Amino acid sequence: MPLVRIPTVLRKHTDGAAKVEADGATVGEVFDQLVARHPGLGDDLFADGQVRGFINVYVDDEDIRYVSGLDTPVEDDTEVAIMPAVAGGAELPSVGR
């Protein structure tokens, strides 16, 4: 059964679990089962039926945007990683320059 890696920010929906098994033949099917078991994930992962733009999803280190999106096939030993994009930061003030 595929294993889904849950980022820290979304673990509130999985009772703190960092990895969750979910069955399916595609990423979309895996996510459907995942959201059925952990409904709070749905709003954080999807907008208008698509993975939110700031959420990156990898199947065995391959970005699904460059494969087949939610139709990307998965096998029983596949690892699906959900990774929110990281952005931000600030310019550090110059000290003694």
Domains and CATH numbers, the chain: 3-84 (3.10.20.30)
pLDDT (tens digit per residue) in 25-48: 999 999 999 999 999 999 999 999
pLDDT in the model for residue 85: 83
pTM: 0.85
Q: What is the token pair recorded at 81? A: 């990683």
Q: How much of the chain, in percent, has pLDDT values that exceed 90? A: 85
